[in-house]
Amino acid sequence: MSALIEKSLTEIHAMLMAKEVTVTEAVKACLDQIAKSEPETKALLAVCNEEALKQAEEMDAAGPDASKPLWGVPVVIKDALATKGVPTTAGSKILEGFTPFYDSTAVAKLKEAGAIIVGKANMDEFAMGSTTENSAYQTTTNPWDPSRVPGGSSGGSGATIAAGQCYAALGTDTGGSIRLPASFCGCVGVKPTYGRVSRYGLIAYGSSLDQIGPMTRTVEDAARVLNVIDGHDQRDSTSADKPMEDFVAALEERKDLSGLTIGLPEEYWGEGLSAEVSEACRSAIAKAEELGAKTVPVKLSMTEYAIATYYIIAMAEASSNLSRFDGVRYGHRTKNPQELADLYTKSRTEAFGDEVQRRIIIGTYVLSAGYYDAYYRKAAQIRRLLRQDFNKAFESCDLIAGPVCPTTAFPIGDLTSDPLQMYLQDIFTISLNLVGMPGMSLPVAMGKETNMPVGLQLMAPAFDEKTMLQAANVLEKNLPGLPKVKL
């Protein structure tokens, strides 16, 4: 049974379809690994034991269904996505006890494709954080080294993959929250183009930034999940009305990287980048060149303003989005309030964590009448210049490559007392959210100093996930790969 949890999604699906293993066996293997690893990893906020086993038995009785691309595959969902009948808290006390009566579109599509949900992943409260230390319930650890963070805010999703608890997980990426934990946990993480995957049913942090994407063991696995969750949704006004693509089939179209030009932004390779991350990423770029890719320098001159721009816009949107959590309609309500204002104030103060309160206050400040023009409007203008930067860069290259994060996973507690240093962990990832373009993290090596995974970030023009996934697939097949986590 333990050998099953080491399989990729593609491998386990093929075994299920060939009846080499039953759905019940696959689900039990994941549930057993969850029981074994959760006391230390703490990746999950809910485990769907009975529901998953019941569904598995029903599917085994019915037999394999070739029309369902994820038939029988156990998956985990980030707790920011509404899941019918399963508690959904966004990692916050204010939503403790909330059980949705509907599925988010991404979750519904996974179910329609035959996937079985075995758990809900821990996360930074309302996706606000880079380490999953801001969860109101527990701190997730990194399966490669439990003394280190798994990244965030989708740290539970990254850790559950690394710990062998499932074959795919959904995360959300507002400023790098899929790519950062994918890099820290040594898995593949894809942030699609804004609008490619429906946000319906996602508990919003920054509505113009949030995007749902897959976290998996391999590039092909990620392509399979993206195939399923891709597509226009009339219930989401930000959903792009674009034809669906077959990303799995596209992988077979490219066997090397000849004819591909990769841009290397000097702003991503300079001061602050650790030597081990630089060496690992440069080695991967060198391998891309061996495989036929051409590399060219590109300029992303607005990068130095990206952090300030992102946090002004993200916090402003958070201030607006989180105003609905007021102690009246659902979630936590303070006891014995004196009046309505007291109800609002105490409910939110008691149930929101420090980081969430900090971002709401700053967001409210930058949207206030006296400061809107000085902060929010200026940030929106710089956002437009960032998009121009990327569009200009993509005139001379097909993809842009660089590190995901300046460092590998750092020890738990290292940056919790310094929010500004914590925010700087997103320096290489936030720009893509501001411009709405796709990006991904591909594990390329173990850092020589920390012996922790290093992810290479690949970035593509809007709606060109195909080229990005093709290049990542070729690289993955030609790199040595990471050692196995001790499961």
CB 179 within 8 A of CB 457: yes
3-state secondary structure of 478: helix
Q: Which residues are tagged catalytic?
A: 78, 153, 177
Q: At what angle do helices 219-229 and 105-112 cross, to 10 degrees?
A: 110
Please, where are the H alpha helices in 271-377? Answer: 275-290, 306-321, 340-351, 354-367
Nearest partner of 54 among 28, 33, 19, judged by Cα: 28
Tell me the β-bridge partners of 454: 445
Structure tokens at 136: 């109101």
DSSP 201: T
Query: What b/e sequence results for 428-455 when a residue is b if at least 16 CB atoms lie within 10 Å of its CB, and e otherwise?
Result: bbbbbbbbbbbbbbbbbbbbeebebbbb
Structure tokens at 37: 């690893």
Compute CA 243 distance to the chain's CA centroid, rounded to the nearest angstrom: 23
Structure tokens at 52: 């998953």
Q: Which residues have a Cβ under 8 Å from the Cβ of 360 and sit 6 or more positions away? A: 315, 318, 319, 322, 352
Q: How far apart are CA 27 and CA 323, in angstroms?
A: 39
Helices (H) and strands (E) in the chain, counts: 16, 11
Q: Cβ–Cβ contacts within 10 Å for residue 50, how many? A: 8
Q: How far apart are CA 322 and CA 413, in angstroms?
A: 26
Q: How far apart are CA 300 and CA 390, in angstroms?
A: 7
Q: How far is CA 361 from CA 316, 320, 368, in A?
A: 9, 11, 11
Nearest partner of 77 among 108, 33, 98, judged by Cα: 108
DSSP 121: E
Nearest partner of 86 among 55, 57, 60, judged by Cα: 55
CA torsion sign, 113 to 117 to 122 to 125?
positive
Burial of 367 (0-12, 13-18, 19+ CB in 10 A): middle
Q: How far apart are CA 204 and CA 190, in angstroms?
A: 19
